[in-house]
Amino acid sequence: MDKVITNIPWSKEEADETYHISRWGDGYFDINDQGHLCVLPNQDENGPRIDIAEVLEEMKAQNIPFPIVVRFHDILRSQVKVLNETFRDVIAEANYGGQYNGVYPIKVNQMREVVEEILDAGAPYDYGLEAGSKPELLSVLAFNDNLNALTVLNGYKDEDYLRLALLGNKLGRKVIVVIEKFSELHKILKLSRELNVEPLIGLRAKMAIKGSGKWSDSGGEKAKFGLTIAEMLTAVQILKDEGSLNSLKLFHFHVGSQVTDIRTIKEVVREGARIFTKLVQLGAPLEYFDVGGGLGVDYDGSQSTSDSSMNYKLHDYASDIVYILKEICDAEKVPHPNIVSESGRAITARHSCVITNVIDKIETSFTDYATEKMTGEHSLVSNMRELLETINIENAQEVYNDALDFKKECLNAFRLGILKLEERATLETLFWKITKRISALLPEMEFIPDNLYDIDQGIAPQYLCNFSIFQSAPDLWAIGQLLPIVPITKLNIKPHNNGTLVDITCDSDGKINKFIDINETKNLLPLHELTPNEDYYIGLFMTGAYQDVMGDLHNLFGRLNEVHVFCDDEDPTDFYIEEVIKGSSAESVLSAMQYNPEAMAYTMKKNIDRQIASGKINPREGVRLVDFYEECLKSYTYLKN
């Protein structure tokens, strides 16, 4: 067997070039001298560093099982501050007359702890919330009690939704109902008279400009939400006729989520600014210009217009909005409005990651079978062995082509009963050895022939990871969203394997075989050889937006355990775990599917009692079996470490 060297030293720069940490990490992630992935909560190389491996060790000491969600709340707070400060700086620089009044759309991550942290970090900026449904509004009304912050309400609305909004107005809150569908205008006016409260109203426009990226269809003239120009003009006239024009406060549009191209931002803001100023000139007392969501996140670090990237920075985004709006308002002699954005992905994506322990490695090619020459073996086997003994850089392509032919002939011969089962096993083992030998030669070749270019795909191992893609990374499975994936440790050792990841569900779709790269995606991820009795952890990063709230119970794998980590520069480790939230137990997910765990346990106990009565199980063993079944009902849905 070929000797494998698995402890070749690797520089920090080589690791970064492989996993692109500095490109997607935005200054929040780095590699320390021990080869561990670290969090820089202040985006400061000379500031505190949280060694993720130390966080995992503390979790293990607290008996918190994997897989886990780790939330770095300092990143969440930092992103809130950066967004607000960037807009404030650009507004001051441009001598813009309005201010920035951002809102966080809680649909991106509705977890209470996340919303509370965002509101606390945003309090100095009067940072508000956006809701798009009745349950979201119920939570927003309870948590957003800052009378200076906005509450923006989107989505289709029934009477209860509108009554709740008006309740917020009665409490002195700035709750703005955005009219998405024309009939909602009549409803809100009727209810406001009934409840004797003046509403705050916004109009959402259907823009001609469409977005860029996966969600481009959420904008444009055929968008699901919004009013046409004719409907907006009619709405203004109705408000005038009803004596309620002063209720009209906000103009809103949305070009799509994860906008990849800054030109889309420029175009839609220019179109929106023209509509806004014309409405003001018609008498609409609009105070807020709401650009909606769309601020992207550079998942792959390519700084491009690919679906998982963006070709602009936050400062570019804010500058284009402020300067274009100022230019058009000045030209139209309209006062500068306050600017609202509903940026959720950019706030939450980086603060959360999923960390899974690797359970095992599944080899596609098995090379441990004996391949010594056997007396009377078939010539196909002998020919394949000769190929293995003659491989070099010059003949690698020819050898591989011949090996493919022999493998095909082997299968035909076996089907005809000519080849023994043992001979087929020997020949296939020799084929995989040839493939691995050629793969090892590829880095030394000046030119790699086409038929050898993807040879690694055929021999790549699958790393079995203790999590469910459907629960923890649904966008990755459903829409091909790329996420940065990095080993937590050993980043100072060169990875020996190029592999893919598979989860523990019984679904063949539970796999990851697309990974970030600078120019295009790659099909394999560099991974280290597994060492007996040594844990190997892999992190899926930038999972804080949508992934937390969209996971399903495929195979009844439930929510993950969570740890909330805060920076503490006074602590020797620079961090402390502030809170642990337990994930789903088997009985909780079974209950969600309408099972009755208590009845199930009772049924199992009766079955075991019958076996005891018949003498097939002794009483002591029966008690242990009942206890074991009930213990499994109460346990975590994932595999034990």
CATH number of the domain enclosing 409? 1.20.58.930
Contact 9, 494 (CB under 8 A): yes
Distance CA 434, CA 459 (A): 11
**Residue the block writes with tokens 């809130």:** 80
In a domain, 110, yes or no: no
Asked whether residue 416 falls in the same domain as residue 489, the answer is no
Asked whether residue 604 falls in the same domain as residue 528, the answer is no
φ/ψ of 502, rounded to 5, equals -130, 145
Domain hosting residue 618, numbered range: 588-634
Asked whether residue 331 falls in the same domain as residue 419, the answer is no
Residues of the chain falling short of pLDDT 50: 1-2
| CATH number, position 234 | 3.20.20.10
In a domain, 77, yes or no: no
Contact 521, 482 (CB under 8 A): yes
Which of 57, 7, 16, 14 has its CA nearest to residue 490?
A: 7
* Cα diameter, the chain: 102
Asked whether residue 180 falls in the same domain as residue 327, the answer is yes
Give the per-residue pLDDT at 550: 83
Asked whether residue 538 falls in the same domain as residue 574, the answer is yes
Asked whether residue 182 falls in the same domain as residue 43, the answer is no
Contact 237, 224 (CB under 8 A): no
Asked whether residue 443 falls in the same domain as residue 510, the answer is no
Which of 205, 180, 211, 176 has its CA nearest to residue 279?
A: 205
Asked whether residue 467 falls in the same domain as residue 335, the answer is no
Residues contacting 617, CB < 8 A, separation 6+ = 608, 611, 625
Asked whether residue 402 falls in the same domain as residue 468, the answer is no
Question: What sign results for the dihedral spanned by CA atoms 484, 490, 496, 497?
Answer: negative
| CATH number, position 7 | 2.40.37.10
User: How many domains, in total, are found in the chain?
Assistant: 4
DSSP string, 2-59: -------B--HHHHHHHH-HHHHSTTSEEE-TTS-EEE-TTS-TTS--EEHHHHHHHH
Give the per-residue pLDDT at 130: 98
Distance CA 376, CA 430 (A): 17
Asked whether residue 301 falls in the same domain as residue 436, the answer is no
Which of 72, 150, 85 has its CA nearest to residue 113?
A: 72
Half-sphere exposure of 46 (CA within 13 A, CB side): 0
Distance CA 484, CA 487 (A): 10
In a domain, 264, yes or no: yes
Question: What sign results for the dihedral spanned by CA atoms 466, 471, 473, 478?
Answer: positive
In a domain, 397, yes or no: yes
Contact 131, 137 (CB under 8 A): yes
Element housing 476 (H / E): helix 474-478
Contact 23, 303 (CB under 8 A): yes
Give the per-residue pLDDT at 214: 60
Which of 490, 358, 381 has its CA nearest to residue 429?
A: 381
Distance CA 79, CA 1 (A): 52
In a domain, 112, yes or no: no
Name the E strands within 205-291: 248-252, 288-290
Q: How many CB atoms lie within 10 A of CB 76?
A: 25
Asked whether residue 470 falls in the same domain as residue 496, the answer is yes
Contact 555, 468 (CB under 8 A): yes
SS3 labels along 58-95: HHHHCCCCCCEEEEEHHHHHHHHHHHHHHHHHHHHHCC
First to last CA, the chain: 31
In a domain, 530, yes or no: yes
Cis peptide before 105 (omega within 30 of 0): no
Contact 109, 296 (CB under 8 A): no
What is the Cα gyration radius of the chain? 30
Q: Which pLDDT tens digit goes with each residue over 104-124?
A: 999 999 999 999 999 999 999
Residue 336 DSSP one-character state: P
In a domain, 627, yes or no: yes
Contact 426, 403 (CB under 8 A): no
Which of 134, 101, 104 has its CA nearest to residue 117?
A: 104
SS3 labels along 573-602: CCEEEEEEECCCEHHHHHHHCCCCHHHHHH
Mean pLDDT, the chain, rounded, equals 93
Give the per-residue pLDDT at 216: 53
Asked whether residue 210 falls in the same domain as residue 256, the answer is yes
In a domain, 88, yes or no: no
Distance CA 542, CA 350 (A): 4
Residue 417 DSSP one-character state: T
Distance CA 538, CA 485 (A): 7
